[in-house]
Structure 1
Amino acid sequence: MRNKSLMDRVRLLGRSAIDIVTVLGRSGLFLVHALLGRGGAGSSFQLLVRQLYSVGVMSLVIIVVSGMFIGMVLALQGFSILTKYGSEQAVGQMVALTLLRELGPVVTALLFAGRAGSALTAEIGNMKSTEQLSSLEMIGVDPLKYIVAPRLWAGFISLPILAMIFSVVGIWGASWVAIDWLGVYDGSFWSNMQNSVSFTNDVLNGVIKSVVFAFVVTWIAVFQGYDCEPTSEGISRATTRTVVYASLAVLGLDFILTALMFGDF
Structure 2
Amino acid sequence: MTIYIKNIFEEAGNISVFAFRFFKELFRPVFQFREFTRQCFAVGFRTLPLITITGFIMGLVLTIQSRPTLLKFGAESWLPSMVSLSLIREIAPVITALICAGKIASGIGAELGAMKVTEQIDAMEVSAINPFKYLVVTRILATTLMVPLLVIYADFIGIVGGYVGYNIHGKITLYRYFSDMIEHVEYIDLIPAFIKTFVFGYFIGLIGCYKGFNASNGTASVGVASNEAVVLASLSIFIIDMLAVQITDLFL
Residue 230 in 1 paired to residue 217 in 2? yes
Residue 45 in 1 paired to residue 37 in 2? no
Which letter maps to 2:36?
A: L
Alpha-carbon deviation of 1:190? 2.5
* Cα distance change on mapping 1:248 and 1:38 into 2, 3 Å: closer
* Cα distance change on mapping 1:86 and 1:38 into 2, 3 Å: closer
Distance (Å, rounded) in 1 between the aligned partners of 2:95 and 2:30: 30
Moved more, 34-43 or 86-95: 34-43
Give the 5 Å matches for 1:18-57.
18-37=6-25, 43-57=31-45
Which letter maps to 1:190?
A: F
Alpha-carbon deviation of 1:38? 6.7
Which residue of 95, 106, 113 maps to 2:101? 113
Aligned residue pairs total 251
Corresponding residue for residue 3 of structure 1 = none
Distance (Å, rounded) in 1 between the aligned partners of 2:233 and 2:163: 32
Residue 144 in 1 paired to residue 132 in 2? yes
Which letter maps to 2:4?
A: S
Unaligned runs of 5+ in 1: 1-11
Moved more, 25-34 or 201-210: 25-34
Distance (Å, rounded) in 2 between the aligned partners of 1:205 and 1:138: 44
- Aligned-pair identity in percent equals 28
Distance (Å, rounded) in 2 between the aligned partners of 1:116 and 1:91: 33
Which residue of 77, 90, 99 maps to 1:102? 90
Corresponding residue for residue 216 of structure 1 = 203
Distance (Å, rounded) in 2 between the aligned partners of 1:16 and 1:258: 29
| Structure 1 vs Structure 2 CA RMSD | 1.9
Kept after mapping to 1: 8 A contact 2:26/2:137: no
Kept after mapping to 2: 8 A contact 1:90/1:188: no
Alpha-carbon deviation of 1:252? 2.0
TM-score (structure 1 length as normaliser): 0.89
Q: Deviations over 1:161-213 (max 9, x none)?
A: 001100110001111221x32224335533321111002x1111110121111
* Cα distance change on mapping 1:239 and 1:39 into 2, 3 Å: same
Q: Deviations over 1:41-65 (max 9, x none)?
A: 8611111000001111111111111
Give the 5 Å matches for 1:73-222.
73-178=61-166, 180-186=167-173, 188-199=176-187, 201-222=188-209
TM-score (structure 2 length as normaliser): 0.93
SS of 2:129 mapped into structure 1? coil
Kept after mapping to 2: 8 A contact 1:122/1:236: yes
Unaligned runs of 5+ in 2: none
Distance (Å, rounded) in 1 between the aligned partners of 2:220 and 2:35: 28
Q: Deviations over 1:48-88 (max 9, x none)?
A: 00000111111111111100011100110121211111111
Alpha-carbon deviation of 1:258? 1.1
